[in-house]
Amino acid sequence: MKEILLVAGARPNFMKLAPLVRALEPLHGQLGFKIVHTGQHYDREMSDVFFEELGIPTPHFHLGAGGGSHAEQTAKIMVAFEALCQPEKPTAVVVFGDVNSTLACSIVAKKLGIKVAHVEAGLRSGDWAMPEEVNRVVTDSITDWYFVTEPSGMEHLRREGKPEAALHFVGHVMVDNVLFQRDKLLQQALTSGPSVDFKTRHPRYAVVTMHRPSNVDEASTLTEIASALMDISKQLPIAFPVHPRTRKNFEAFWIELGPHIELLPPLPYMEFLNLWKDAALVLTDSGGLQEETTALGVPCVTLRENTERPITVDEGSNVLAGTSAKRIKQLAQEFIEGRTKKAQRPQLWDGQAAQRIAAILLRELSHLG
C-alpha cells in the first residue's frame, strides 16, 4: 500500500490538513497516511483538545524543530525530516501553505526522490519582503502536484511554466474546515468562554487580529493602525485576541488602545471561530482569515497593501486598506453603515476540496511503481 506523509508546522497548516485527513480515512487499505508535526511553532493550545476539535488524530511524528532564525529553523526541520523519511520511505509528501516547514520538507523530499504535493499552490503576493512569498515560490518550483485554491493561482503557475497535467484547481481545504467547524458550532453552541462572554456584552462588534512584522514591529505603523482602531471602537466595540509579538510591541511603544478595545489572549480555534463568525466587521493582516471571512460572508478589512488571495477582494467580502489610518477608517465606516460590497463564495469553495485532492492523489499514486 502506498503511504503519504502529511506535513504541518503551524496551527493554520493543521486547519488545512484536517479536511484531507477526513477525506483520506475512507481510503484506508488503498492509501495510507501519517501526520508529521515539525514543531515549527510551539503552541500550548495545540493540545489533544485542539486535534479533537479538528477531528484528526494527534500527529504520528513530532520533529520538535522549535524556533530560531529562518535559516536555523529551516535547517533543523530539514535534518529531522530527512531522518524520518529515510526509514519511512513514503511514496509522497504533502505540504500545506507557505511556512518554513512547507519549504524545508519539500526540499528534503525532492532530494530523496519522493513526490511532492503542495496544497494551496500558486498564490503570489509579489512582495519579496514577505518570507512566505519566498517559501511559496521555491516550494512550487519543485512540486509534482499542485492543488490550487483560486484561478489566479492557476494563472501564476502557467506563467511560470508548470506542466498543465500537474495543475489541479480543487477549491480550498481551509474553506472545507471552516464550514465543517461552523456546522459543529451550529449543532452544539459554546455556552461559556471569552467569545461567549464578549458577545453577550456586545451584540454588535468588530474583531481584530494583527501579527505581521511589517505591521507590528515598526512603532510608526503600529501607532497609525492603533489610531484607526481606537476611532472605529467608538462606534463598534472591538474584540482583539492579541498575538504575543503584538502585545509586547504595544507595551514597548507605549501604545494605548482606549476603553472600547478589549484585549483577549490568543483563542483556541473554536473559540475564535465563534467570535468572528458573527462579527459585523473583521480587521486583520492574516491571509487565512481573508479566506475564511469570504467563505462565511463576513465583512473584512485587510491591513495590508497587497494580498496573495485576490479572489477574496474580487469576489469575496474582503477589501484592502493598507496601513493608513484614514483609509482603514473609511472602509470600516462603509461596512459599519451597511454599505457592504457585493460578495459571493468563490467557485469550488464548497467544502469538497479535500475529497477532490484525495481522489487525485489516489489516482496519481496508483500509476507509480
Same topology, domains 2-172+349-366 and 192-336? Answer is yes
Sheet strand arrangement including 2-8: 61-62, 31-37, 2-8, 92-96, 115-121, 145-148, 167-169
Are residues 56 and 14 in contact, defined by beta-carbon separation less than 8 angstroms? yes
Tell me, what's the pLDDT at 55?
84
Mean pLDDT over each residue of the chain, to the nearest integer: 93
The residue type at 112:
L
Going by pLDDT thresholds of 50, 70 and 90, the confidence category of residue 361 is very high
Neighbours of 187 (CB within 10 A): 7
Q: Which CATH superfamily is domain 2-172+349-366 in?
A: Glycogen Phosphorylase B; (3.40.50.2000)
**pLDDT (average), residues 117-136:** 94
Contacts of 43 (CB under 8 A, 6+ apart): 10, 11
Sheet strand arrangement including 261-264: 261-264, 238-241, 206-209, 281-284, 300-302, 318-320
**pLDDT (average), residues 200-221:** 95
pLDDT (tens digit per residue) in 251-310: 999 999 999 999 999 888 899 999 999 999 999 999 899 999 999 999 999 999 999 999
d(CA 129, CA 123): 15
pLDDT (tens digit per residue) in 140-170: 999 999 999 999 999 999 999 999 999 999 9
Tell me, what's the pLDDT at 337?
93
How far is the CA of 246 from the CAs of 216, 255, 311, 361, in angstroms?
6, 11, 28, 39
Using DSSP, state whether 7 is helix, strand or coil: strand
Percent of the chain whose pLDDT exceeds 90: 83
Domain ranges of the chain: 2-172+349-366, 192-336
Whole-prediction pTM: 0.91
pLDDT (tens digit per residue) in 42-57: 555 555 667 888 888 8
pLDDT (tens digit per residue) in 226-260: 999 999 999 999 999 998 889 999 999 999 999 99
Radius of gyration (C-alpha) of the chain in whole angstroms: 20
User: Following CA atoms 273, 274, 275, 276 in sequence, which dihedral angle do they give, to the nearest 10 degrees?
Assistant: 50
Concatenating the DSSP letter of every residue in 275-313 gives HHTT-SEEEE--HHHHHHHHHHT--EEE-SS--S-THHH
Tell me, what's the pLDDT at 42?
59
Query: HSE of 57 in the Cβ direction (CA atoms, 13 Å)?
Result: 12
pLDDT (tens digit per residue) in 51-104: 888 888 889 999 988 777 889 999 999 999 999 999 999 999 999 999 999 999
Active site residues: 211
The answer to whether residue 333 scores a pLDDT higher than 60 is yes
The x, y and z cell numbers of residue 134, run together, are 519566498
Tell me, what's the pLDDT at 43?
58
The answer to whether residue 208 scores a pLDDT higher than 90 is yes
The answer to whether residue 23 scores a pLDDT higher than 90 is yes
Pick from 134, 137, 87, 135: nearest CA to 112? 87
Domain 192-336 listed as CATH 3.40.50.2000:
yes
The x, y and z cell numbers of residue 225, run together, are 493602525
